């Protein structure tokens, strides 16, 4: 999906941000807009490589399906990716995505120098 730009200018302050890009970025930020998902992402990111779901679920006082749902949202936003190995499923962060969002925010500063990516 999307063969559009994303090419050069990613910063919030560089261009007024087209509708298409706004929708795409909003999906990612919305995924971060929940305390449970933020803590999930944090737990995944704080581990060297990847984390087993069996470690994530007991870290919350929420049902297993609820955690599974939140992981799905993070996955669909491109923030994490998962891999099944045997009985267990492992999640890891996708740095491309977090870095891109960080770059977008960094340049909202009015920081008009090259916006990284």
Partner DNA sequence: AGGCTGTATTGAAGTCTGTCTATGCAATGT
Partner DNA sequence: ACATTGCATAGACAGACTTCAATACAGCCT
CA distance 93 to 32: 13
Pick one of DNA, a second copy, none as the site partner of residue 114 (Cβ within 5 to 8 A by kind): none
> Please, which residue, 46 or 87, has the CB nearer to a second copy?
46
Residues of this chain that interact with DNA (CB under 7 A) are 30, 33-34, 36-37, 52-54, 57, 61-66, 68-73, 82, 84, 86-89
7 touching a second copy, by CB under 8 A: no
Report yes or no: 66 and 53 within 8 Å, Cβ to Cβ: no
The structure tokens 């399906």 sit at 65
Count CB neighbours of 6 within 10 A.
Answer: 14
1-9 long-range CB contacts below 8 Å, 24 or more apart?
9/115
Q: How many residues bind a second copy (CB under 8 A)?
A: 43
Interaction residues for a second copy, span 51-80 (CB under 8 A) = 59
User: Under the rule (CB under 8 A), what is the footprint of a second copy?
Assistant: 12-17, 19, 22-23, 25-27, 29-39, 41-43, 45-46, 48, 59, 93, 95, 98-99, 101-103, 105-110
């Amino acid at each position: 999906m999307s063969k559009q730009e994303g090419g050069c200018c990613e910063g919030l302050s560089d261009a007024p941000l087209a509708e298409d890009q706004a929708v795409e970025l909003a999906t990612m930020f919305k995924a971060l807009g929940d305390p449970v998902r933020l803590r999930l992402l944090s737990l995944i990111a704080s581990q060297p490589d990847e984390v087993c779901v069996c470690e994530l679920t007991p870290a919350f006082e929420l049902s297993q399906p609820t955690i599974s749902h939140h992981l799905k949202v993070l996955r669909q936003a491109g923030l994490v990716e998962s891999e099944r190995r045997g009985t267990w499923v492992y999640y890891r962060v996708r740095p491309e995505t977090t870095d891109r969002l960080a770059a977008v925010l960094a340049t909202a500063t009015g920081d008009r120098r090259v916006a990284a990516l």
